[in-house]
């Protein structure tokens, strides 16, 4: 019987895993993307795009496609999909692995204030610089809607105007990879005095934090939301070993 793996993706780690497992004998690999980006970087191999329709829709899909194992490699802040996956897999008795890049940890030169939510971040931000690099997702911008006296630098993969949008902002369209030198230049060019971001983890996204430490800038860092309990690894290679162990079982 052919084993079938569903990778819940939208991240570099998910694409790495699809790449590592491509061509594995006796294994069908399907990568799933939410479809948020108009021009996504598609991972290698078979892909499907779009939501499943909640936990029950995902369970229907897993049954219909005879999926035998699932890797949840969604972004650390894409938590809804992770909870749906945990419940659907538990209901069907399917093995589920969480693949996520390790969270960043503040070093001695970092000036972070860690928060659980954007509500917690706003009053802190009001006491900081008026020129802010707001490194958050498009769908989170509404949390900052009341800060009309601030100027924001936004950066997204695509150029489309944000909606909702802050009163005053500049938008840079760039997918990276980013370097500390490049980020330093960007922060200086826009006279940025503070950064707001999420603890996404990863080396490319860390470049802005290295630059912030160099320039002694304060950072408001949002902690990751809670995830379901379960088996978790930090790299595509470890996830591939988990898959291979199941194939041999």
Interface with ligand NAP (CB under 6 A)? 8-11, 32-34, 36, 51-54, 57-58, 74-75, 77-81, 84, 137
Q: Output 9 or 201, the one with its CB closest to ligand NAP.
A: 9
Residue nearest to ligand NAP (CB): 51
Q: In the complex, what is the shortest distance from the CB of residue 98 to ligand NAP, in angstroms, rounded to a whole number? A: 12
| Token pair listed for 147 | 């800060």
Q: Output 77 or 242, the one with its CB closest to ligand NAP.
A: 77
Q: Quick one: three-class SS letters along the chain?
A: CCEEEEEECCCHHHHHHHHHHCCCCCEEEEEEECCCCCCCCCCCCEEEECCCCHHHHHHHHHHHCCCCEEEECCCCCCHHHHHHHHHHHHHHCCCEEEECCCCCCCCCCCEEEEECCHHHHHHHHHCCCCEEEEECCHHHHHHHCCCCCCEEEEEECCCCCCCCCCCCEEEEECCCCCCHHHHHHHHHHCCCCEEEEECCCCHHHHHHHHHHHHHCCEEEEECCCCCCCCCEECCHHHHHHHHHHHHHC
Q: In the complex, what is the shortest distance from the CB of residue 32 to ligand NAP, in angstroms, rounded to a whole number? A: 4
Q: Output 85 or 219, the one with its CB closest to ligand NAP.
A: 85
Q: In the complex, what is the shortest distance from the CB of residue 157 to ligand NAP, in angstroms, rounded to a whole number? A: 9
Q: Output 139 or 245, the one with its CB closest to ligand NAP.
A: 139
Q: Output 58 or 153, the one with its CB closest to ligand NAP.
A: 58
How many Å apart are CA 241 and CA 238, to the nearest integer?
Answer: 5
Q: In the complex, what is the shortest distance from the CB of residue 15 to ligand NAP, in angstroms, rounded to a whole number? A: 11
Q: In the complex, what is the shortest distance from the CB of residue 83 to ligand NAP, in angstroms, rounded to a whole number? A: 8
For residue 99, which of 27, 31, 186, 167 has the smallest C-alpha distance? Answer: 31
Q: In the complex, what is the shortest distance from the CB of residue 57 to ligand NAP, in angstroms, rounded to a whole number? A: 6
Q: Output 54 or 164, the one with its CB closest to ligand NAP.
A: 54
Residue 177: Cβ within 10 Å count: 12
Q: In the complex, what is the shortest distance from the CB of residue 225 to ligand NAP, in angstroms, rounded to a whole number? A: 9
For residue 227, which of 62, 98, 136 has the smallest C-alpha distance? Answer: 98
Q: Output 129 or 232, the one with its CB closest to ligand NAP.
A: 232
């Amino acid at each position: 019987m052919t084993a079938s793996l569903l990778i819940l993706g939208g991240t570099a780690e998910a694409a790495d895993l699809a790449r590592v497992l491509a061509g594995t004998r006796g294994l069908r690999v399907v990568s799933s993307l939410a479809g948020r980006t108009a021009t996504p970087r598609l991972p290698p191999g078979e892909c499907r795009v779009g939501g499943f329709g909640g936990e029950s829709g995902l369970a229907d899909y897993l049954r219909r496609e005879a999926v035998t194992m699932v890797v949840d490699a969604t972004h650390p802040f894409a938590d809804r999909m992770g909870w749906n996956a945990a419940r659907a897999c538990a209901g069907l008795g399917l093995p589920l692995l969480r693949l996520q890049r390790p969270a960043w940890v503040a070093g001695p030169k970092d000036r972070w204030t860690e928060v659980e939510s954007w509500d917690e971040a706003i009053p802190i931000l009001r006491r900081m610089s008026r020129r802010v690099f707001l490194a958050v997702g498009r769908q989170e911008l509404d949390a900052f809607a009341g800060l009309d006296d601030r100027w924001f630098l936004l950066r997204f993969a695509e150029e489309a105007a944000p909606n909702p949008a802050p009163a005053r902002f500049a938008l840079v369209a760039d997918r990276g990879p980013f370097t500390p030198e490049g980020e330093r230049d960007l922060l200086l060019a826009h006279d940025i005095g503070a950064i707001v971001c999420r603890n996404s983890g990863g080396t490319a996204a860390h470049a802005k934090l290295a630059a912030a430490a160099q320039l002694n800038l304060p950072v408001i860092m949002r902690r990751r939301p809670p995830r379901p309990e379960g088996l978790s690894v930090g790299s595509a290679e470890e996830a591939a070993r988990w898959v291979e162990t199941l194939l041999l079982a």
